[in-house]
Amino acid sequence: MGKICVVGLGYIGLPTAAMFAKSGFEVVGVDINDKAVNLLNQGKIHIEEVGLGQLVKKVVEDGRLKSSLSPEVADCFIIAVPTPNYPDHTANLEYVKSATESLLPYLKKGNVVIVESTIPPRTIDDVVAPIIQAEGWKVGEEIYLAHCPERVLPGKILIELVENTRIVGGINEISAIKAAEVYGSFVTGDIIKTSAVTAEMSKLMENTYRDVNIALANELAKISDKLGINALEVIQLANRHPRVNIHQPGPGVGGHCLAVDPYFIIEKAPEESPLITNARRINNSMPEFVVEHVEKIVGKSGKIAIFGLTYKGNIDDIRESPAMDAVCLLQEKGYELSLYDPHVKQDQVGFTLSTFDEAIDQADLILVLTDHNEFKGLDEVKIHTKMRHSVIFDTKNHVKINSESIKYYNYGNLFKMGKRHIELV
């Protein structure tokens, strides 16, 4: 076993570092966040992930994982830093570049350098390799370079890191072989070797596939609203075909993957990607679509209880959340809003959060924007007694309502909304 240096100790880098340590490597984790580094050296973690706390504690106590503000000489370097996007949606590669530069003083012949960060196609060839070459190294001969994207789901990271198929894209064949050997230490899923650019593109296309399919479902919701069709029933029926899988419509697409990655393709080939571009437009238009329907229900003013702010159910992540966009639009229009999200902490948002009781008190509408488990069965008696109007608009088709006197809308019956369903009191 050798030594691995992991640069970037976030949601991907830290679990990856810990898994390598568990499988016998000596691992040094590097981050610019000194608080995170100090915590880790005490065997504690700065992020939430199932099972990660125990694992890190063990490998730190065993002396196999330590953390530092700067890299060290190692056999393999893994870069797992964020790739945020600029306001025009193009990829900001500054962290990837500076992480690569930070390794240069420590590189030695035979090292393997792996980039796990999500990057636009050709970044390994056009951005990362030239930085290493400029130091005088022959990339692919003296230093092996590869892109190995991650594809794990938060909450299941430690399991998926081991079991998922891993794509290993080398700048040349020998680089792919060397990088695949590294992952072979703990990955039980298939490890598939390819070129760096193919690996870059396949990672982006996984999330783009999902984004485009969700856009199709959202477009169906809009069409069905116009034509008086139950979109949810259409999806159910069409999906009985053995080769059809229409996704679910909703208030839009959020998170740091689906709402970001397709733009990395668009920036490289804008003329050739009208479908991907339009899918992004459609999904981005959904908060506005939701707000138009809120207006149809409550009219120009009223109190709206927002249920759910995160980008998807049962997590605490509000990055790129369409729910937050809908909240801003409703606020601009002057509605009184109360926000209820049992997974979000007050310091995460600039708005005041409410309890369930406070949120529904004298509300004219419950607007469900996230499918948290807590929203599945709501207290119908309280809805009756506390709300001014017992109406729910469930953009995730998630809430189960039994009482017939609660008016319930989802994307299956939008067309039943009249111009105005509630008389103002």
In single-letter form, the type of residue at position 79 comes to: I
Residue among 138 and 319 whose Cβ is closer to ligand SAJ: 319
Nearer to ligand SAJ, 151 or 421 (CB): 151
- In angstroms, the Cα distances linking 286 to 2, 209, 364 are 50, 18, 22
Q: How far is the CB of 346 from ligand SAJ (least distance, A)?
A: 22
Q: Is 59 one of the binding residues for ligand SAJ (CB under 6 A)?
A: no
- Given a contact cutoff of 8 angstroms between Cβ atoms, the answer to whether 95 and 69 are in contact is no
Number of residues that bind ligand SAJ (CB under 6 A): 17
Site for ligand SAJ in 232-261 (CB under 6 A): 247-248, 250, 253-255, 257-258
Q: Rounded distance, CA 38 to CA 149, Å? A: 28
378 binds ligand SAJ (CB under 6 A): no
Catalytic residue among 5, 76, 148, 257: 257
Closest residue by Cα to residue 48 from 15, 85, 86, 82: 15
Q: Which is nearer to ligand SAJ, 216 or 401 (CB)?
A: 216
CB of 213 to ligand SAJ, least distance (A): 7
Q: Judged by CB, which is closer to ligand SAJ: 257, or 359?
A: 257
CB of 224 to ligand SAJ, least distance (A): 16
The CB-of-227 to ligand SAJ minimum distance in angstroms stands at 21
Of 323, 257, 225, the closest CA to residue 85 belongs to: 257
From 64, 268, 280, 312, residue interacting with ligand SAJ (rule: CB under 6 A) = 312
- Give strand pairing partners of 408: 392
Q: What is the C-alpha separation between 115 and 118, in angstroms, rounded?
A: 8
Q: How far is CA 65 from CA 29, 34, 107, 240, in A?
A: 7, 16, 20, 49
Given 22, 76, 148, 203, the catalytic residue: 203
289 binds ligand SAJ (CB under 6 A): no
Between β-strands 191-195 and 65-68, what pairing exists: parallel, antiparallel or unpaired?
unpaired
Q: Which two tokens stand for residue 50?
A: 């199932």
Give the DSSP letter string of 195-236: EHHHHHHHHHHHHHHHHHHHHHHHHHHHHHHHHT--HHHHHH
One of 175, 195, 207, 338 touching ligand SAJ (CB under 6 A): 207
**6 neighbors 65 (Cβ within 8 angstroms):** no
Record the tokens describing residue 66, joined without a space: 């330590």
Report the nearest approach of ligand SAJ to the CB of residue 289 (Å). 13
**151 part of the interface to ligand SAJ, by CB under 6 A:** yes
Task: Answer yes or no whether residue 156 interacts with ligand SAJ by CB under 6 A.
Answer: no
Which residue's Cβ has the minimum distance to ligand SAJ? 257
Q: Which residues, other chains included, contact 275 with Cβ-Cβ below 8 Å and sequence gap of 6+?
A: 212
In the complex, the smallest distance separating the C-beta of residue 370 from ligand SAJ, rounded to whole angstroms, is: 8
For position 153 contacting ligand SAJ by CB under 6 A, the verdict is: yes
Residue 243: alpha-carbon gap to chain centroid: 27
Q: Which one of 210, 222, 388, 421 is in contact with ligand SAJ (CB under 6 A)?
A: 210
Q: Is 311 in the site for ligand SAJ (CB under 6 A)?
A: yes
Cβ atoms within 10 Å, residue 350: 6
Q: In this structure, are residues 19 and 6 in contact, taking their beta carbons and an 8 Å threshold?
A: no
Binding to ligand SAJ in span 187-206, by CB under 6 A: 206
Minimum distance from CB of 117 to ligand SAJ (Å)? 10
Q: Does 159 bind ligand SAJ (CB under 6 A)?
A: no
Phi, psi of 147 (to 5 degrees): -110, 125
Q: With respect to ligand SAJ, which residue has the nearer C-beta, 102 or 208?
A: 208
203 included as an active-site residue:
yes
The answer to whether residue 257 is catalytic is yes
Nearest distance from C-beta of residue 273 to ligand SAJ, angstroms: 18
Q: Which positions lie near ligand SAJ, rule CB under 6 A? A: 151-153, 206-207, 210, 214, 247-248, 250, 253-255, 257-258, 311-312
Catalytic residues: 203, 257
